[in-house]
């Protein structure tokens, strides 16, 4: 099957696609969904403030776009603390980690996105920083080398990952404040998010338009906000009132179907069906057939397809379900 260029008006591909800062919640009451996680984090912060301490380190995991970064921002805002953001892939050497940690202001919230990408060597350097607030630096080489312990300013680490299985057990155990799973959102929560974002954008939406956008948002706030803005642009350019019909027209142009699936999602399903007879197919073989990176399949396409019940993961590989086959027949 030939590869086609990506058209991803709403795709959550890449860490550079972050929620528009104008729409990011700045109050806990504005953060919709994930009620259990919110309640636990608020208790953690309140208890730490009563003791005059920084909260213990916390880890969030879940699919892209479900609010992990926003939670890190809310933790910093609640503490009235500086927020330092980085990514696991950016910390390659011991010096990278040392530069970050030694330059933190006291009371900083350090957010490391995709923390599973830290190497074992970097993880081992991070352990004393998380446990005792110190960093062990080796000076010199060979027999004359010596270890110097540097005291670090107090900080709270907020880690985030889309690949929990790739995070080592020793690192997970260092998050004394808890390890929290963020899941896909209900349509009720998505409707609330879309309504709030529309208000911030100066838009007046009818309930049926909100419903239409929510149903095509892949159960993900980031996608919901991206779709809202794209449909707004479509309506403005064509000088049309934003109605359900205009939503449908815009989504057809964007290549988004009523379930929120794009042509790239359908290409995944078609490749699994036509190229591998419905599976099982290993993720690397499937990625090769699609001319994609395996991480893209696992992080972008598969979470929502799994949620819809269109595919299954087994020890032998990916399988197209009967539900997925029916979808292809109908689409």
Active site residues: 68-69, 113, 162, 222
Per the CB < 8 A criterion, the answer to whether 186 and 32 are in contact is no
Does residue 170 come out as left (phi exceeding 0), alpha (psi in the -120 to 50 range) or beta?
alpha
Q: Is 232 exposed, middle or buried (0-12, 13-18, 19+ CB in 10 A)?
A: middle
Per the CB < 8 A criterion, the answer to whether 68 and 60 are in contact is yes
Residue 19 dihedral angles phi and psi, to the nearest 5°:
-60, 135
How far is Cα 158 from Cα 60, in angstroms, rounded to an integer?
8
Per the CB < 8 A criterion, the answer to whether 73 and 83 are in contact is yes
Per the CB < 8 A criterion, the answer to whether 232 and 201 are in contact is yes
How far is Cα 59 from Cα 164, in angstroms, rounded to an integer?
10
Segments in 138-243 forming alpha helices (H) = 169-172, 187-200, 207-215, 221-237
How far is Cα 196 from Cα 62, in angstroms, rounded to an integer?
23
Per the CB < 8 A criterion, the answer to whether 324 and 269 are in contact is yes
């Amino acid at each position: 099957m030939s590869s086609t260029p990506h058209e991803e008006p709403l795709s959550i591909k890449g860490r550079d696609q972050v929620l528009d800062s104008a729409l990011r919640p700045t109050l806990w009451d504005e953060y919709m969904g994930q009620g259990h996680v919110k309640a636990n984090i608020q208790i953690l912060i309140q208890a730490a403030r009563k003791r005059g301490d920084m909260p213990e380190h916390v880890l969030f995991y879940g699919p892209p776009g479900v609010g992990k970064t926003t939670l890190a921002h809310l933790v910093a805002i609640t503490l009235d603390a500086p927020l330092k953001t980085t990514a696991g892939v950016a910390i390659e050497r011991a010096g990278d980690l040392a530069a970050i940690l030694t330059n933190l202001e006291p009371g900083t919230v350090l957010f490391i996105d995709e923390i599973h990408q830290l190497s074992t060597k970097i993880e081992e350097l991070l352990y004393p920083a998380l446990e005792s607030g110190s960093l062990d630096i080796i000076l010199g080489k060979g027999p004359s080398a010596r270890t110097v312990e540097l005291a670090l300013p107090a900080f709270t680490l907020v880690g985030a990952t889309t690949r929990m299985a790739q995070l080592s057990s020793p690192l997970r155990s260092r998050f004394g404040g808890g390890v929290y799973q963020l899941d896909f959102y209900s349509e009720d929560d998505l409707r609330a998010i879309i309504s709030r974002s529309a208000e911030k954008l100066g838009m007046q939406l009818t309930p049926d338009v909100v419903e239409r956008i929510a149903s095509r948002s892949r159960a993900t706030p980031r996608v919901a906000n991206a779709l809202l803005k794209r449909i707004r642009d479509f309506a403005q350019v064509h000088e049309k009132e934003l109605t359900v019909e205009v939503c449908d027209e815009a989504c057809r142009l964007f290549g988004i179907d009523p379930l929120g699936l794009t042509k790239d999602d359908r290409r995944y399903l078609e490749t699994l069906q036509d190229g591998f007879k419905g599976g099982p197919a290993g993720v690397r073989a499937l990625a090769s057939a699609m001319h994609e990176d395996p991480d893209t399949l696992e992080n972008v396409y598969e979470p929502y397809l799994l949620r819809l019940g269109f595919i299954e993961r087994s020890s032998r590989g990916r399988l197209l379900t009967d539900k997925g086959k029916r979808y292809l027949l109908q689409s």
